[in-house]
Amino acid sequence: MDKILEEVADAITPNKKEREKLKSFSKKVIKLINKQGYAASVEGSLAKDTWISGNHDIDVFLFFDRELNKKVLEKEGVAVGKKAIKELGGVPELAYSEHPYTRSKINDIDLDIVPCYKLENTEQKASSVDRTPFHTKYVLENMTEKQKTEVRILKQFSKGIGVYSAKEKVRGFSGYLCELLILQYGTFKKLAKQAATKWEYGLVIDIEKLHKNKKKIFKRFQNALIVIDPTDRLRNVAAALDEDNFEKLIQAFQYFLQKPTVEFFFPNLIEPFTQDKLQKQLKKRGKIFIIKFKTPDIQEDILYSQLRKSLKTFKKKLDYFDFDVMQTDYYSSEKYSYLLVEVQNTELPELKVLEGPPISIDKKYQDAFEAKYKERNPWIKNRRWYVNVPRKYTIVEDLLKNILKEPDKNGITKYVTISLKEEKKLIDEKNLLKEYKEEFARFLTRYLSKKNPWEW
């Protein structure tokens, strides 16, 4: 294991040339912002020296007085960012977090210029963006040089197994969360051993012991993992972490400790099933339906939130009309997005048995039920009323087509609805092979195989 960790560390630690390049670029950005009369600083993993080689992300924070009106901050912050990016030869793009900010890709560097309030301490009312400089300061004051390497290893491991980033696309472990976990456990190996054997739902980590009672902490946050922000006792750094990703990290550590391989850090590309193998796999399962539409041109966090909510709506509708959903999944590329539902039933009888009230309740409610369905001859069995009623949908495709015809009326999210109204395609197993290529083939193979990233 030690040899693998050393190899990984060597591969992901930035060299002198790479460091100097980002340092020089950062200075230019700060200088251009200072020239406009504003204070700014580099924050995030670059400032803390926990960044991974090849990931050229620079977060520059632009400071405003705490008394300034929020709308003025947003307007001035965006204007300053745009001007600086243009002077650097980039094309500014507007993005959104708690405050709107500007970003651009200049050569191989992803630059974010983020306006925030200059705070004296985190007790002052602030957004998570405004707290970021305190996170940088805390890590720099408490982390050793050796631990910075351990953070890089943890980040790469999280990336390799698909749980790195608190963004909506992943809902996993943020960079700051990885840093705090190393500060808590000291090394990647110690963290791996503790997580593999001791971690369970509701784990509380409070590095600075800002709370006396861990039970009260869990009652307040009620997350799979609760890591109290050392700079803000009322914030859970792991709040965005999805429970499945919490469990996935634990499972990955367990497998890694049993048989450590470099694939946990740098997984192989998924090898799509051959068409013959794909068809054999499909025969073993429920029926798969995929809704294909153009990817909405919106910010990534909003996109993935809308995809999840829309998929949840499809599942709710299918379950409500008794087409039992076995599993769901989704995938989005720059051009197209796909929502996948796998159902157990594709055709149902015309009639369904509707459960009525028990005979133990007030007679007037029983009479109302009997009167309502009088022509359908309701009956009593096992001390409860029942009646046969006609189904609205007996074929699953009819229900799916109805939802796609009027997505907004069926509860599909705004931007997905707009895309569905412009262009959509319902893919069933008969025409699946026409779509089965490139990234979509990898997505479907991953879904069907259920292999972990390190197993390819």
pLDDT in tens, 19-41: 999 999 999 999 999 999 999 99
* pLDDT tier at 125, thresholds 50, 70, 90: low
Last residue of a domain, one of 390, 418, 445: 390
Q: What single-letter DSSP state applies at residue 25?
A: H
Task: Identify whether residues 430 and 298 lie together within a single domain.
Answer: yes
Q: For residue 242, what is the domain's CATH number?
A: 1.10.1410.30
* pLDDT tier at 97, thresholds 50, 70, 90: confident
Q: What is the DSSP string of 61-117?
A: EEEE-TTS-HHHHHHHHHHHHHHHHHHTT---EEEESSSEEEEEEETTEEEEEEEEE
The count of structural domains within the chain is: 4
CB of 161 closer than 8 Å to CB of 264: yes
Q: What single-letter DSSP state applies at residue 263?
A: G
Q: For residue 330, report the phi and psi dihedrals to the nearest 5 degrees.
A: -150, 160
Does the pLDDT of residue 98 top 80, yes or no? Answer: no
> So what's the pLDDT on residue 215?
83
For the segment 305-358, what is each residue's pLDDT rounded down to a tens digit? 999 999 999 999 999 999 999 999 999 999 999 999 999 999 999 999 999 999
Six token digits for residue 319: 């379950």
C-alpha to C-alpha distance for 25 and 277, rounded to whole angstroms: 50
C-alpha to C-alpha distance for 206 and 124, rounded to whole angstroms: 21
Nearest to 313 by CA among 411, 416, 403, 426: 411
For the segment 54-90, what is each residue's pLDDT rounded down to a tens digit? 999 999 999 999 889 989 999 999 999 999 999 999 9
Task: Identify whether residues 231 and 164 lie together within a single domain.
Answer: yes
C-alpha to C-alpha distance for 456 and 454, rounded to whole angstroms: 6
Nearest to 232 by CA among 246, 222, 221: 221
* pLDDT tier at 454, thresholds 50, 70, 90: very high
Kindly state whether residue 189 falls inside one of the protein's structural domains. Answer: yes
Kindly state whether residue 136 falls inside one of the protein's structural domains. Answer: no
* pLDDT tier at 126, thresholds 50, 70, 90: low
- Percent of the chain with pLDDT strictly greater than 70: 100
> So what's the pLDDT on residue 230?
96
Task: Identify whether residues 177 and 322 lie together within a single domain.
Answer: no
- Which strands, in side-by-side order, build the sheet including 57-64? 40-43, 57-64, 109-117, 100-106, 93-96
For the segment 180-207, what is each residue's pLDDT rounded down to a tens digit? 999 999 999 999 999 999 999 999 999 9
Q: For residue 294, what is the domain's CATH number?
A: 3.30.70.590
H and E: helices and strands count for the chain: 17, 15
* pLDDT tier at 46, thresholds 50, 70, 90: very high
Average pLDDT, the chain: 95
Q: Is 398 helix (H, G, I), strand (E, B) or coil?
A: helix
For the ranges 127-131, 210-214, 287-291, 446-450, which has the lowest average pLDDT?
A: 127-131
Give residues with Cβ within 8 angstroms of 107, minimum separation 6. Answer: none
Task: Identify whether residues 440 and 339 lie together within a single domain.
Answer: yes
Kindly state whether residue 2 falls inside one of the protein's structural domains. Answer: no
> So what's the pLDDT on residue 227?
97
* pLDDT tier at 219, thresholds 50, 70, 90: confident
Task: Identify whether residues 386 and 400 lie together within a single domain.
Answer: no
Task: Identify whether residues 51 and 195 lie together within a single domain.
Answer: no
Across the range 266-280, mean pLDDT stands at: 95
Task: Identify whether residues 148 and 251 lie together within a single domain.
Answer: yes
Q: Are strands 225-229 and 203-205 parallel, antiparallel or unpaired?
A: parallel
Kindly state whether residue 413 falls inside one of the protein's structural domains. Answer: yes
- Which strands, in side-by-side order, build the sheet including 287-294? 325-332, 336-343, 287-294, 424-427
Give the Cα-Cα-Cα angle 13, 15, 19 (nearest 5 degrees): 100
Task: Identify whether residues 71 and 15 lie together within a single domain.
Answer: yes
Q: Helix 175-185 to helix 128-142 angle, to the nearest 10 degrees? A: 30
For the ranges 162-166, 312-316, 378-382, 430-434, which has the lowest average pLDDT?
A: 430-434
C-alpha to C-alpha distance for 170 and 153, rounded to whole angstroms: 19
Task: Identify whether residues 190 and 336 lie together within a single domain.
Answer: no
C-alpha to C-alpha distance for 419 and 455, rounded to whole angstroms: 35
State the residue range of the domain holding 356: 351-390
Across the range 98-109, mean pLDDT stands at: 92
Q: Are strands 351-358 and 325-332 parallel, antiparallel or unpaired?
A: unpaired
Based on the number of CB atoms within 10 Å of its own CB, is 353 exposed (0-12), middle (13-18) or buried (19 or more)? exposed
Task: Identify whether residues 19 and 102 lie together within a single domain.
Answer: yes
For the segment 351-403, what is each residue's pLDDT rounded down to a tens digit? 999 999 999 999 999 999 999 999 999 999 999 999 999 999 999 999 999 99
